[in-house]
Amino acid sequence: MEQLNKDVKTVLIVDDEQAIIDVLKFNLLKEGYRILEAKDGLTGLNMALEEKPDLIMLDIMLPKLDGLSVCKRVKNTYNIPIIILTAKDAEVDKIVGLELGADDYITKPFSVRELVARVKANIRKADITLNERNVTTKTQEPQKKENKIEIGELEIDLDKFEVKVRGKVIDLTLREFEVLKFLASQPGQVVTREILLEKVWGYEYYGDIRTVDVTVRRIREKIEQDTSTPRILITKRGVGYYIATK
């Protein structure tokens, strides 16, 4: 049996159009990725849970099990980066996909160059986060105050990857945690959507800023008592977002 190189990243492509799979496979193989493929949602889900790939490219309209259901089930078990890949460009699809834990969203027809860049960015970000977790696990010193960010009612424990608001633990996805941590590390300072895309999502180019808006909205639903008048995560209209200092 061929020994799998642990440094080679595996991408699972789940799409019922063989032509799409072939294009993605050709371009990702050139970048050095190992490719798995599935043409229906059920097969894709089983392969994701068994193989634990480094990233999943997932169509929404799939036979046997739709892509959003696959996304939800995978994210309930593993924190694998998922890029939703679909011909549907409606805002509601973007929102639903991200609410179920998807890390990114791109619509057909797509630029292969842009899609490969997003694959790299999401895998790189996942690797950085995993390394951060490993470091904090090996060097746990709970007594260190600097491993927490405390601003008013908000408390972020960087060792535990845990957020509390008014003393209550809030269940955030990894992406939501990263956004909140980035904003809280510079309280009172307005951060643009473009900067958040670059620093949190890892994009080195202009991405879809609606992705940021949806993620912020979801964070607010979890941490604010009244989302219509937020007190913690504030919008600077036309500019970006910031964490209130009091």
Secondary structure element (H or E) that encloses residue 203, with its range: none
pTM: 0.62
Quote the pLDDT of residue 2.
45
Please report the domains of the chain, with CATH numbers, ordered by start residue.
10-129 (3.40.50.2300), 140-243 (1.10.10.10)
| Token pair recorded at residue 165 | 């608001």
Quote the pLDDT of residue 141.
43
Quote the pLDDT of residue 1.
39
Residues 86-106, buried b or exposed e (16+ Cβ, 10 A)? beeeeeebbbbbbbbbbbbbb
Quote the pLDDT of residue 10.
94
Residues in the chain: 246
Q: What is the mean pLDDT of each run of 10 residues along the chain (246 residues)?
A: 66 94 92 94 94 92 91 87 77 63 80 85 75 51 62 88 90 86 92 86 64 88 91 91 89
Gap between the Cα atoms of 12 and 5, Å rounded: 16
Secondary structure element (H or E) that encloses residue 4, with its range: none
- For 140-194, what is each residue's pLDDT tens digit? 443 444 588 899 889 998 878 889 998 899 988 878 888 999 999 999 999 998 8
Quote the pLDDT of residue 113.
84
Gap between the Cα atoms of 104 and 94, Å rounded: 9
